[in-house]
Amino acid sequence: MTQLFSPKPIPKVELHRHLDCSWRYSTLVELAKNFKLIDSTEYTEVESKLLVTSPMTDLGSVLKKFTRAQQLLKNEEILTRLTFETLEDAYNDGIRILELRYSLNFIQEGSGLSYDKIHMALLKGIEHAQKKYPIATGLISIFQRDQSKDHLQKILDFTIQNKSVFIGADLADNEAAADPNSFKWLFDELYEAGVPITIHSGETPDSGAPKRVKDAIEILHATRIGHGIQIIQDQSTIDFVKAKNVHLEICPISNALTQAFANRKNHPFFDLYKAGVSVSINSDDPGIFNTYLSDDYSYLIQNFGLTTTDFTKINKLAYDASFISAVEKKRVMPIL
């Protein structure tokens, strides 16, 4: 029988969390009510309009929820509050190292703010949180596969100009509909500028997913993969990922909600971990899923019987794979 325990006190490292989808529930409700996105603060209405809490079947309805949440990103004050509260809640959940990725495009569409104002508002929230809590954090710039080349170029220029504060770059959105070669120019430039790279890939459950992971590594210079769970379909890709020491940022609850492992009875996390793949545990979009990272730990405890010893090993893998500087990591987690 699985021995259940609370994972909250475990010192944690999280590498894959979207800051722009990390709302504190009470703040989400408050702002949604103020901006008239909901008529009442009843949980049933909040859930129906803003949250994803059960496996997705209607993609259109799900995207509407993300679009509504995007409308809350109205101004600099809100962005600073979002960032501070994200770090505060993460620290109280046992997280000591937290990488936060965000899309300039996504936030700008919601706020109309310039890239500079967006970025400075987020940095202000980080500064306030780090004065209060011993937590190491860094920002990853997201590029979206459905953006025009001109738009990508603008974000590229901003990212490289601010590479002293961006710890990495990411490519997100529909992986199955995009040729990685279309983004080679972009990630070649990031790579040459010394910006660490992680790529959303291997999430969609189709037969082409393992090859897309390999392409992300070979063509786009990825040293980490966001999700990557579909490599479970192909042993040669598992071997390749291990040989290249590429780390998978796995998001168990997110994968369950998106039905990313619909072609398997169980989530592949445990099999990948036991196969010796470098993996971490992440919450992805906790503000939309209404979860904490500890919920993802509980998911693994309940489904696979992971122990504190397992979590120590996994957090060491995440610690080693983090793009945050060694000095900052040691400041908050000297034992690793």
Q: Is residue 50 part of a domain?
A: no
* 71 C-beta neighbours (distance < 10 Å), count: 15
Q: Is residue 311 part of a domain?
A: yes
Q: Is residue 142 part of a domain?
A: yes
Q: Is residue 188 part of a domain?
A: yes
User: CA-CA distance, 279 to 13, in Å (whole number)?
Assistant: 11
State the CATH number of the domain containing residue 207.
Answer: 3.20.20.140
Q: Report the predicted TM-score, pTM, of the whole model to 2 decimal places.
A: 0.97
Q: Is residue 267 part of a domain?
A: yes
Per-residue pLDDT of the chain (336 residues; tens, 9 = 90+): 456 789 999 999 999 999 999 999 999 999 999 999 999 999 999 999 999 999 998 767 888 999 999 999 999 999 999 999 999 999 999 999 999 999 999 999 999 999 999 999 999 999 999 999 999 999 999 999 999 999 999 999 999 999 999 999 999 999 999 999 999 999 999 999 999 999 999 999 999 999 999 999 999 999 999 999 999 999 999 999 999 999 999 999 999 999 999 889 999 999 999 999 999 999 999 999 999 999 999 999 999 999 999 999 999 999 999 999 999 999 999 876
Q: Is residue 32 part of a domain?
A: no
Q: Is residue 43 part of a domain?
A: no
Which domain does 141 fall in, by range? 13-25+77-332
Tens digits of residue pLDDT in 244-300: 999 999 999 999 999 999 889 999 999 999 999 999 999 999 999 999 999 999 999
The closest alpha carbon to 32, from 68, 58, 59, 81, belongs to 68
- Residue 268: partners with Cβ closer than 8 Å, 6 or more residues away: 229, 232, 261
3-state secondary structure of 200: strand
Work out how many domains the chain is built from and give that number: 1
Tens digits of residue pLDDT in 106-145: 999 999 999 999 999 999 999 999 999 999 999 999 999 9
Q: Which residue has the tokens 């929230």?
A: 125
DSSP assignment, residue 231? G
Q: Is residue 53 part of a domain?
A: no
